Structure formats: structure tokens, C-alpha cells
A and B are shown apart, each in its own frame.
Chain A
Amino acid sequence: MQIILRATFLIATLVAGLGVAVLPARAVVEIDINKGVVEPLPIAITEFISADGTGAEIASVVEADLRRSGLFAPIEKGAFIEKISNPDAAPRFQDWTVINAQALVTGKVSETADGRLKAEFRLWDTYAGQQLIGEQFFTSKDKWRRVAHIIADAIYQRLTGESGYFDTRIVYVDESGPRNNRVKRLAIMDQDGANQRFLTDGRAIVLTPRFSPTRQEITYMSYEGGQPQVYLLQLETGQRELVGNFPGMTFAPRFSPNGQQIVMSLLRDDGNSNIFAMDLRSRNTTRLTTANAIDTSPSYSPDGSQIVFTSDRGGRAQIYVMSASGGDPKRISFGDGSYSTPVWSPRGDLIAFTKQTRGEFQIGVMRTDGSGERILSSGFLQEGPTWSPNGRVVMFFRQPAGSAGPQLYSIDLTGRNEQKIPTANYGSDPAWSPLLE
């Protein structure tokens, strides 16, 4: 089901004589995000022309997305020289280069005859004097924020060469009430904190929601039955379903990359926990670990061939990698401290983790063989990393000493760009969705 219609328009006549203007090959402006330190790209994002305030609102959401990525430095509107009145015409490029805008975004929002929203935008390379992107979108009016995020993703992708992550959502645990009697509700919101809504009523403790990579579905753990167990929740219908019928606690669920399996921990009667995979169609379970240990927090590699997980089989919690069909796990974390909550990057190159060392909690990343460990953030209590779908940003939750509850933060792989994610109450256990369809 396509909610937002998208079209590229090739209006080559716009840019004098440049029939190839929309082809990307000649662009001057680009960001190499693989460099260690990235100087944010100065970009001018003009208010989209519209009869009401929608154009300005869409432009401001685009601007906020790009600014929070840390890769763009949107220029103060007061510095703009040219006032865009016809976004279909080429801008006066020198008016933009003189204020050091290397890229320019213009746009227009209007209403179609059948009452739908039509949004158009163009991305310009001001120094090359050419249009880089021109696209238009048709959708219902209430989807205007999604259109803005899709535009921001298009700009991000065109200028960095990598897919964006703005048209995504976060499922997390909303926390309210006193610390010794917390009310926890599943909540979902856009990645920028907008459109928050609750998915459960707070009567049962709910933990660790995770998105299906393929369906509008999440898996999570809930105390609603007698035993805490793993459940599935359909986001569109609200339908909930217990995953399997196990004698003991099931926890730490996560989908396989193809969405057809759930891997999770199952508590044994002797108090140890092992990792099992369940096929969601046949409901057959496969036992993947057998150690007399705590084996938990499993996460698939994006190709589905391997699983990274936490185990204390060596004494303290450390990170191990094994084949997705089980077998002998290989320990990959060897630093000073204990390691848990490993999560494989969607790009496949890194594993994010929580590390406890010297009384601190750290969020870090390492290569999949355990080398190249880098700490992105340290603090009193922070845990639970989740990856943006492009593998460039990690979100987690943090509770400073003396505070009444945790809040959500994101940090990019440089460790320099940390952003607080606004939530209605306290928030924990964030999970990032794939890019929306």
C-alpha cells in the first residue's frame, strides 16, 4: 500500500541549456561521511511556497532533520538575499554562494483538486549552478510530516551518497510513576519525537520492543500473563499474540532480517538461560546454545548468517558470535569490564554494545571480530543501543545519577553529535524501525 505517491520531475528547461541537469554526475557539493571529522555542509532551506503555513512547517521539519544529523549546517533565514517567489525557476545562484550556501532547497506546497496535499521540492548545487533533485509528492494532508522526512532523506542521500533515516519511527518504553513502582507502556513515535502514541495501557510491565524488518509488527516482553513472556503486536490492528507456550520466562526477543524468525532467550528450570530461534510460520523452535550460563540479547547479522549475543559463560558478561544455526560461539569482547546488549549494524560492519567498566556504563561499537572498539558515550547509567537503518547513528537511553528516570538520546558514529530525543515522559528501550515503505 503506497501512502505517498512520489515522482521525479525532469524539467530540464529550468536550467538554461542543461538537459542533463538532473543527472548527478557533475555535482560539486557532497559530504564524505567516512572521513573522521565532517565539517557540516552549509545549506539554505527556504520556506516552501504555500497558501497556508504548511510550506514553512515542512521546510522547518526538513531543516531540523538535517541539522540533527550533524552533517548539515542550515543557514539562518535572516541571511538570505534572494526571496524565492517562484520555486520552479532557477534561483540566482550568486545570491546563495555569497552567503556560503553550498546547497539550496526550494519547494512548493499546494492542494490538489481532490483535496490532497501536493509537495514539490528541488535541491540545487549553488556553486555548480544546477539542480540536483526535483521531486513531487501527493498524499493526504495529515501525512505532511512524513513528506518532510522523505524530502530530508532524499537530500541526505543525494549529498552523502548514503540512504537517510528520517522517515522512520521509534518504538520505546514510556515510563511514568515512582522508580519503585514504575508504569511502563509501549509507545511509538516518529524518529524526531513527533506523533507519539501509546500501544499498551500500562497495566503490565512491558520491556524491550523491537521492530519487524518486514511487517508493521513488533515483538516485546510483557508481564501480562503469569510468567513474563515474549509477545507479538500488530501495529495496524493492535492485535497481540503470545509467542509460543514455554514453561519458563522468555525474553530478549529480536526478529531475523527476513522477519520470519524470532530469536530470544528461554529460562531453564535450573536458572540458566539459553538462546532459541522460533520460526513464526511453523512455530518450531530450535535451541542454539546449551551452556550452563546466562545467554541472552541475541541479534542477527544483516545477512542472517550469524548471531551475536551476551553470555557470562566465561565468568562475566561478554559478547560472543555464533552461526545462526548454533554451534561453537567465539568470544569477541576482551576489553576491561563486562559487555552486553550487542546489536549488529544494518550495514553489517559494526556491533554496538553496552560496556560496564569502572562504575560507568558506556555505549560503544566494535568490528564484528571484536577489533577497533570505540566508546561513543560514557555515563552513570546508559544502555540499550539501537541502530538507525543506515548504520550511521545509534540511539540508546540514559539515566544520570540522581535523576528520576531515563531519557532517549542519539549519537552518531563520530561520537561528536549527541541529540536528546524528546518524549512525553521518561523513556527507555528504544528500537529504530527500518525506513518506512
Chain B
Amino acid sequence: MLSIAAIAKHPVSIALVAALALAGCANKQVPNSAADIGLGGAGGPPGSQQEFTVSVGDRIFFDLDSSSIRADAQQVLSRQAQWLNKYQNYTITVEGHADERGTREYNLALGARRAASARDFLVARGVAANRIRTISYGKERPVATCDDISCWSQNRRAVTVLNGGSS
């Protein structure tokens, strides 16, 4: 899987995962991979996967049952577009996700709509549409697994995953 590959490629990110997990509130959030950490921390070399994930920000969040791009998300996506326009060798997959507070099939559709919203924003900022693939995971892949809003709001997300290219 891509996320496992990402960890293997960047052992330093494993340490980061561990540090964040310790710092965070107990057990509420168990990141899958470097891609699940979100913003902040030290970026990698320019043009690297790690720079994209950590410094640019690989994910945006949505309001409940919404696929509108929030103001904070617009900033992240604008940075992503800038970065992707600079490093043209990458193709990307935009993963759309939903929280667990919806039924399964509806949430598959909602995740798809979120991925499409993020993709459309990137395209509007100049990223070629043929570099972007989308996929919905519905509520199948939460990153935060507690049963309250603190987790649900992290799970309502679109994650931009770099597919390849040199880094």
C-alpha cells in the first residue's frame, strides 16, 4: 500500500508519528502513516513527498455532510496547486473520506463528492486534470477513531496522495 511505502521510504517520519502519538491525547488518534499526521513539523527536501505532506499539507477538512471547500482548505489546496505546478512529474490521487455519522452508501457518494471538489479546485489553480485521479473511501478509512466530534471532524477529509515521480 502506498502509505506503507511512504513510511518505508522515509524512516524519519516513523519517529514523527511516534512523537505525535505520544503527544496527542491518549489513544484517540492512531495515525496510519506519515500521510495521516497532517500539517506542521519539519519539511523534507524541496520537491519531496515529505515536503508535500508536511510543509504544503496533504489534506483538507470539511464540515458535516458538506463538500464545500472551506477558507482554511482553500489555503491548503492553493499551496498544493503551487507545489504541483512546480513539480510537474507527480500525478496524484485525491482520496475523499467521510466520518462515521452517515450511512455507508451515502458516505461513499459524499467522499466522492469531496474528492471531486478538491480536484476541481486544484484544476482551477492550474493543475492538469489528467494528472489527478479521485477515489472515495466513504467511511471505510477513518484516521481518528474515537466516538465524538474531535475525531469525526478529522475524518471528513480529502487527502492528496502523490503517486510517483522522482523525489
Instruction: Give me the interface of A with B, judged by CB distance under 8 Å.
Output: 178-182, 184, 205, 207-208, 221, 227-228, 248-249, 251-252, 265, 267, 269-273, 294, 296-297, 310, 312, 316-317, 338, 340-341, 354, 356, 380-381, 383-384, 401-402, 428-429
Complex partner residue of A228 from B113, B135, B144, CB under 8 angstroms: B135
Check B147–A271 contact: CB distance below 8 A. no
Check B145–A317 contact: CB distance below 8 A. no
Complex partner residue of B145 from A179, A248, A356, A401, CB under 8 angstroms: A179
Closest to B119 in A: A271
Check B67–A317 contact: CB distance below 8 A. no
Check B142–A180 contact: CB distance below 8 A. yes
In the complex, B32 has a CB within 8 A of chain A: yes
A265 to B136 alpha-carbon distance, docked (Å): 13
Complex partner residue of A270 from B101, B116, B147, CB under 8 angstroms: B116
Identify which of residues 111-167 in chain B touch chain A, using a CB-to-CB cut-off of 8 Å: 112-117, 120, 135-138, 140-145, 147
CB-CB contacts of B21-35 with A at 8 A, as 1s and 0s? 000000000101000
In the complex, B46 has a CB within 8 A of chain A: no
Check A180–B145 contact: CB distance below 8 A. yes
Which residues of the partner chain B approach A271 to less than 8 Å between Cβ atoms? 67, 112-117, 120
Which residues of the partner chain A approach B101 to less than 8 Å between Cβ atoms? 356, 381
Which residues of the partner chain B approach A227 to less than 8 Å between Cβ atoms? 135
Check A251–B116 contact: CB distance below 8 A. no
Which residues of the partner chain A approach B141 to less than 8 Å between Cβ atoms? 180-181
Complex partner residue of A310 from B105, B135, B140, CB under 8 angstroms: B105
Least Cβ–Cβ distance between A373 and chain B, in angstroms: 17
A182 to B141 alpha-carbon distance, docked (Å): 8
A181 to B30 alpha-carbon distance, docked (Å): 10
Check B105–A380 contact: CB distance below 8 A. no
Which residues of the partner chain B approach A180 to less than 8 Å between Cβ atoms? 30, 32, 141-145
Residue contacts A-B, CB under 8 angstroms, 25 given = A180-B141, A180-B145, A205-B140, A207-B108, A221-B108, A227-B135, A228-B108, A228-B135, A249-B108, A267-B109, A267-B112, A271-B114, A271-B115, A273-B112, A294-B113, A296-B105, A296-B108, A297-B106, A312-B106, A317-B103, A338-B65, A381-B101, A383-B103, A383-B104, A429-B104
Instruction: Give me the interface of B with A, judged by CB distance under 8 Å.
Output: 30, 32, 65, 67, 100-106, 108-110, 112-117, 120, 135-138, 140-145, 147
Least Cβ–Cβ distance between A268 and chain B, in angstroms: 9
Which residues of the partner chain B approach A249 to less than 8 Å between Cβ atoms? 108, 112, 135-136
Which residues of the partner chain A approach B114 to less than 8 Å between Cβ atoms? 271
Q: Which of B32, B67, B135, B144 has the most CB of A within 10 A?
A: B135
Least Cβ–Cβ distance between A158 and chain B, in angstroms: 38
Given contacts A228-B136, A267-B112, A272-B113, contact A178 B104 (CB under 8 A): no
Which residues of the partner chain B approach A354 to less than 8 Å between Cβ atoms? 103
Check A273–B109 contact: CB distance below 8 A. yes
A305 to B136 alpha-carbon distance, docked (Å): 31
A300 to B57 alpha-carbon distance, docked (Å): 44
Least Cβ–Cβ distance between B100 and chain A, in angstroms: 6
Check B112–A207 contact: CB distance below 8 A. no
Complex partner residue of A297 from B30, B105, B116, B140, CB under 8 angstroms: B105
Check B140–A340 contact: CB distance below 8 A. no
A263 to B124 alpha-carbon distance, docked (Å): 34
